[in-house]
Structure 1
Amino acid sequence: MRKIYIIGIVASGKTTLAKRLSKQLNIPWHELDCVVYHQSDEGRYKRTPEKQQEVIADIDQSSDGWIFEGVDRSSYRCLYEMADTIIVLDPPLWKRRYRIFARYVKQQIGIEKCHYKSDLKMLRNMYQWTNDFERNRAEFEARLKPYQGKIMRVADSKELGLG
């Protein structure tokens, strides 16, 4: 397990799991949001899907191991092939909705940092993305079907015994 793709919808626990695995396995982890949105001296800008795939390929070629974590975005689907392990995080809907709100509150009071503008618009977006994911879940599951041999499904990262 040297090339790990952690996939899940907003507030599924991807970043928390990636940090734990990275530390335990001594493998660098990469937030795919940072692949999409690049921070430069001039500000934050969105890379094209082609440039996103190029960044992913560069990381893959320059490392014998990595952990990527993110949502299901077409520009990331190359990771299904590249990864030797795909961890699908799928906690219950009620838990994800609670985490979205808790994260927003923590960001507003300065307990938690983020790479994006934490405002009511983003909060609404996160709930909308969650609803869209649930509505399109069958399509997501169909995309995963060819990779069943390397998929681990967990509702909670604690199921992996990482403490």
Structure 2
Amino acid sequence: MRKILITGIVASGKTTLAKQLSNSLNIPCYELDSIVHPQTNEGRKSRTPEEQVSVIEEIDRNGQWIFEGTNRESYRCLFDMADIILFLDPPLWKRKMRIFTRFLKQNLGIEKCNYKSDFMMLKMMYKWTREFEKNRMDFEDRIINFEDKLIRLTDNINLEKLVKRF
């Protein structure tokens, strides 16, 4: 059974890699942002941390999965559940460039998103990136406990080589 957690900060390539692996391995893929903020008839709502864990546990009971998302306390349980943890950690300059490129594509209608792509969100993405870098050592200290199943990716990868590792 394959249970893969893809984690990293904003614009590290999590969603893109998750979709590629999902297609290559035929494993369902879940965006953790959509578990935190599911779309309802009334718009996006926020689940409590307990509700988030409940949804994650239900998905886990159904078998194989790929989860992708940033590091939130409410779903750190996935580090224990996962067979493989992929930490996407491209250089800071590349992530900053991707944030701005994504913003442009979303506002030109080239790329879809599940949130309101405005200047406030752009500002928040840069803020989250700064906060991650400021607190990087806390994250690094946490993931060291999972070195036996952790793969750190710092640049674009050959998907075929990665799939063969699974």
TM-score, structure 2 length as denominator? Answer: 0.94
Residue identity opposite 1:76 in structure 2: Y
Question: Residue in 2 aligned with 1:8?
Answer: 8
Change (3 A) 1:18 1:89: same
Partners of 1:106 and 1:112 within 8 A in 2: yes
Query: SS of 2:66's equivalent?
Result: strand
Question: Residue in 2 aligned with 1:142?
Answer: 141
Matches within 5 A, 1:79-118: 79-118=78-117
After superposition, the C-alpha distances for 1:55-98 in whole angstroms (9 at most, x for unaligned) are: 00000012x21000000000110000000000000000000000
> 1:156: Cα distance to partner?
2.3
Ranges in structure 2 where 5+ consecutive residues have no aligned partner = none
User: 2:73 aligned with 1:39, yes or no?
Assistant: no
Deviating above 4 A after TM superposition, structure 1's stretches of 4 or more consecutive aligned residues are none
Name the % identity.
59
Query: SS of 1:87's equivalent?
Result: strand
Ranges in structure 1 where 5+ consecutive residues have no aligned partner = none
> 1:52: Cα distance to partner?
0.5
> 1:157: Cα distance to partner?
4.1
User: 2:50 aligned with 1:50, yes or no?
Assistant: yes
> 1:162: Cα distance to partner?
5.8
What count of residue pairs does the alignment treat as equivalent? Answer: 162
TM-score, structure 1 length as denominator? Answer: 0.96
Note the aligned Cα RMSD (angstroms). 1.3
> 1:159: Cα distance to partner?
4.7
User: 2:131 aligned with 1:132, yes or no?
Assistant: yes
